Amino acid sequence: MSCRPILKLTIPAKPEALKGLRDALVGALDREGADNTTRDRLVLAVHEAACNVIRHAYADGQDGVLRVTLARQRGMLRFALRDFAPPVDPARIKPRDLDVCRPGGLGINFIDDTMDSWRLRPLKRRRGNLLTMRKRVPRKRHGETT
């Protein structure tokens, strides 16, 4: 089902671009009526997904871009992150055991805990990967404040 994007931006796959991504997401999610706690969790999850693209998909500091789209489908917010990096094996992308205290590897846990569903798939024929994440967030009613 197609729907009009609420937010659509392309950023360089560089850590310095993450702040701009977060700021854009905060604005869009505020307009969509997400409460502050939900908004901050969603921003963190999308940020972590972008970090994974920068660190792992575009490994070794490769130049590249990341397209981020946010859209509403019925009561769900749909976040899509499209990269143009070599294909990633989705079977290798899974949350880790949080009872083991070690640095790193938390990003997928943050995504998995926050989103209602998510799916990563390498794009056939075309180079790149597409991560889609969905979260039910009721639309803000007219005049309502969060």
Partner 1 sequence: MNDCSIEHQGDFALVRVRGEVDLSWSQKVRKTILDALGKAKSVGVELSEVSYIDSSGIAALVEGFQNARGKGQKFALIGSSAAVRGVLELARLDRVFPMVDTVEAARA
User: Does 18 contact partner 1 by CB under 8 A?
Assistant: yes
Q: Site for partner 1 (CB under 8 A): which residue of 9, 76, 106, 130?
A: 106
Span of 47-55, 66-74, 77-85, 86-94 interacting with partner 1 by CB under 8 A = 47-55
User: Does 48 contact partner 1 by CB under 8 A?
Assistant: yes
Nearest approach, Cβ of residue 37 and partner 1 (Å): 8
- Which has the closest alpha carbon to 2: 99, 80, 119, 113? 80
In whole angstroms, give the CA distance from residue 31 to residue 40. Answer: 14
Amino acid 17 reads: A
Nearest approach, Cβ of residue 81 and partner 1 (Å): 15
Determine phi and psi for 46, rounding to 5 degrees. Answer: -70, -40
Nearest approach, Cβ of residue 62 and partner 1 (Å): 15
Determine phi and psi for 122, rounding to 5 degrees. Answer: -70, 145
In whole angstroms, give the CA distance from residue 71 to residue 134. Answer: 10
24: three-class secondary structure by DSSP: helix
Residues engaged in binding partner 1 (CB under 8 A): 15-16, 18-19, 22, 40-41, 44, 47-48, 51, 54-55, 98-99, 101-107, 109-110, 113
